[in-house]
């Protein structure tokens, strides 16, 4: 049997370090046993998926040197590797489940489900579907379908008993069926949900080991039940601990840059980032700190993983990156990579037109351009608000942070209209809201034109700088309070629509 592992990112948003972490461990495991790793795109949530995000995920994993054997870009014998292109497989699978009595259509309206949930919460029960539509007769079902009533398919969960399965890291896991919801496996738009699609694909793609984040452990009983309904042998499961912020909360972009692109833009080398991810919950048998993917793979033992949540600490990553620059790369290598990074003529030429009106001599250039080349600028928090009240400065920074998440294409025009929209909505002049951004981004109240600078810095560096500005305001006592933030969230939803987090 060939060992086959997979990573299954959903193409929603920036490429996440958590995806790279999973890719590294899946790759190390597959390589150790001479197997293969597959990359599958899980885009069943059509409203949140985008081609741009898929492209970004693939290219950032490539940048890290985490390569896959089969995937949407390189093909393979078990394609297509994008779930939106595999709908026929899922349709057939759902029919099989219905025939076997493992799935059933549910016609409940959102109103009924809300009401049910409310009652269950009032009675201190776990909110879960009550099996209402299980009692429908075949005729009733046919009638409703004919009449065009909306429906989903749900997985029929046993009323009692326990689901037991082996986790390669945790040993036996037991979850009571009463804690498991009658999972929707096909949505009313005809698309499957993650649970169904991933089980069908793991089977059809001959995945032998599902190595994924621990947030999926409570879903595993549903998956085991699906395998049973199909009459398929389930793969082995290993649920890895999730990366954490230094304060132990789940790694999130509200506290840490989580986009792989950030690390690229901020001047890290990919080998160090991958090496650091390899240290998350894992140590090599000889305890060495500096290692390549190859070295990690050849000695890899999944049982060596520790279950405590590993802390992703940028300060440590920086330290490791420094060691790479001094110990692992040659001086020529450092020079060549630094030039490729941002000390290249193409990039400097993008800055030049912005700086030129302010130059007298060449020596004026680098001080002006510095904030476009560094990671985070230094400044005093008092500078941030400018003429705005500090509360208002925090408010516009926060709104911009949310709005920037929604920018479809990152360019000067888009940025300029985004800030104009914020000014209009807040009934302020553009001129009034920009000073906090000048400072957050460049560290100074006077600097190169803002929108061009934001465009050059890119989304990840900009978001981090805005987040740091907000943190500085909070630390100084001038930021948004918990209550203030809650209020702003509501106000934002009314004035700007939903956030994407």
Q: Which residues bind ligand GLU (CB under 6 A)?
A: 8-10, 42, 194, 198, 212, 216
Q: Of the candidates 108, 242, 348, 428, which one interacts with Zn ion according to CB under 5 A?
A: 108
Q: Which does 470 bind (CB under 5 to 8 A by kind): ligand GLU, Zn ion, none?
A: none
Bridge partners (DSSP) of residue 154 are: 104, 184
Is 253 among the catalytic positions? Answer: yes
**Which of Zn ion, ligand GLU, none is residue 8 near (CB under 5 to 8 Å by kind)?**
ligand GLU
The tokens for 296 are 């990690």
Shortest Cβ contact with ligand GLU: which residue? 212
Report whether 177 contacts 170 (CB < 8 A).
no
Q: State the nearest-atom distance from the C-beta of 186 to ligand GLU, in Å.
A: 17
HSE-up of residue 267 (Cα within 13 Å, Cβ side) = 17
Is 106 near Zn ion (CB under 5 A)? yes
Of 55, 50, 60, nearest to 23 by C-alpha is 60
Element (H, E) at 278: helix 270-278
133 binds, among ligand GLU, Zn ion, none (CB under 5 to 8 A by kind): Zn ion
Helix axes 390-405, 450-475, angle to 10 degrees: 120
Among Zn ion, ligand GLU, none, residue 365 binds (CB under 5-8 Å by kind): none
Q: Residue 109 carries which DSSP code?
A: -
Among 57, 94, 133, 381, binds Zn ion (CB under 5 A): 133
State the nearest-atom distance from the C-beta of 10 to ligand GLU, in Å. Answer: 4
Q: Are 462 and 407 within 8 A, CB to CB?
A: no
Written as one string, the DSSP assignment of 412-472 is: HHHHHHHHHHHHHHTT--HHHHSHHHHHHHHSSSS-S-HHHHHHHHHHHHHHHHHHHHHHH
State the nearest-atom distance from the C-beta of 235 to ligand GLU, in Å. Answer: 11
Nearer to ligand GLU, 202 or 265 (CB): 202
Catalytic choice (156, 222, 253, 472): 253
- For 284, phi then psi, to 5°, come to -70, 155
Please state the separation of Cα 77 from the chain's center in Å.
28
- For 404, the token pair is 């920037």
Instruction: State which residue, 138 or 482, has the beta carbon closest to Zn ion.
Output: 138
Contact between 222 and 198 under an 8 Å Cβ cutoff? The reply is: no
User: Is the bond leading into 478 cis (omega within 30 degrees of zero)?
Assistant: no
Q: Which of 32, 132, 144, 421 binds Zn ion (CB under 5 A)?
A: 132
Six-digit token pair at 261? 């692109």
- Choose the one of Zn ion, ligand GLU, none that binds residue 265, judging by a C-beta under 5 to 8 angstroms depending on kind: none
Q: Which is nearer to ligand GLU, 33 or 216 (CB)?
A: 216
Q: Of 106 and 457, which has the nearer Cβ to Zn ion?
A: 106
Our CB check for ligand GLU shows the closer of 84 and 432 to be 84
Annotated catalytic residues are 253
Q: Which parts of this chain interact with Zn ion (CB under 5 A)?
A: 106, 108, 132-133
């Amino acid at each position: 049997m060939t060992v086959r592992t997979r990573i299954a990112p959903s193409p929603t948003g920036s490429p996440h370090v958590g995806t790279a972490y999973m890719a590294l461990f899946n790759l190390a495991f597959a390589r150790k046993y001479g197997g293969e790793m597959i990359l599958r795109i899980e885009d069943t949530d059509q409203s949140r998926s985008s081609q741009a995000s898929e492209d970004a995920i693939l290219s950032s994993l490539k940048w890290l040197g985490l390569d896959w054997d089969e995937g949407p870009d390189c093909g393979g014998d078990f394609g297509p590797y994008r779930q939106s292109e595999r709908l026929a497989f899922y349709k057939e699978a759902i029919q099989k489940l219905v025939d076997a009595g493992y799935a059933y259509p549910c016609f409940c309206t959102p109103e009924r489900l809300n009401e049910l949930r409310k009652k269950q919460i009032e009675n201190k029960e776990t909110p879960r579907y009550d099996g209402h539509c299980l009692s429908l007769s075949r005729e009733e079902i046919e009638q409703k379908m004919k009449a065009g009533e909306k429906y989903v398919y749900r997985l029929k969960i046993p009323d009692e008993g326990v689901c037991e399965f082996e986790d390669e890291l945790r040993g036996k896991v037991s979850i009571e069926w009463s804690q498991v919801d009658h999972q929707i496996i096909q949505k009313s738009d005809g698309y499957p949900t993650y649970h169904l699609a991933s089980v069908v694909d793991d089977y059809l793609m001959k995945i032998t080991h599902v190595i994924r984040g621990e947030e999926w452990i409570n879903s595993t009983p549903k998956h085991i039940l699906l395998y049973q309904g199909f009459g398929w042998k389930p793969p082995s499961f290993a649920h890895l601990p999730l990366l954490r912020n230094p304060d132990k909360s789940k790694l999130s972009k509200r506290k840490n840059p989580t986009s792989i692109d950030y690390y690229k833009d901020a001047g890290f080398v990919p080998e160090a980032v991958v090496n650091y991810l390899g240290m998350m919950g894992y140590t090599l048998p000889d305890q060495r700190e500096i290692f390549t993917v190859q070295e990690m793979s050849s000695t890899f033992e999944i049982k060596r993983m520790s279950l405590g949540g590993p802390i992703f600490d940028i300060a440590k990553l920086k330290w490791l990156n420094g060691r790479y620059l001094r110990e692992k790369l040659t001086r020529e290598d450092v020079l060549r990579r630094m030039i490729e990074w941002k000390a290249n003529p193409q990039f400097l030429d993008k800055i030049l037109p912005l700086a030129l009106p302010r130059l007298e001599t060449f020596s004026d250039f680098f001080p002006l351009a510095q904030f476009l080349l560094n990671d985070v600028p230094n400044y005093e928090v008092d500078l941030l608000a400018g003429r705005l009240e500090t509360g208002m400065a925090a408010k516009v920074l926060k709104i911009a942070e949310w709005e920037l998440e929604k920018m479809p294409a990152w360019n000067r025009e888009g940025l300029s209209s985004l800030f104009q929209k914020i000014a209009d909505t807040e009934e302020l002049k553009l001129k009034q809201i920009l000073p906090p951004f000048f400072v957050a981004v460049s560290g100074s109240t006077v600097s190169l034109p803002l929108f061009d600078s934001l465009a050059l810095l890119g989304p990840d560096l900009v978001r981090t700088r805005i987040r740091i500005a907000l943190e500085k305001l909070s630390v100084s006592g001038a930021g948004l309070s918990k209550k203030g933030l809650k209020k702003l969230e509501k106000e934002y939803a009314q004035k700007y629509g939903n956030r994407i987090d």
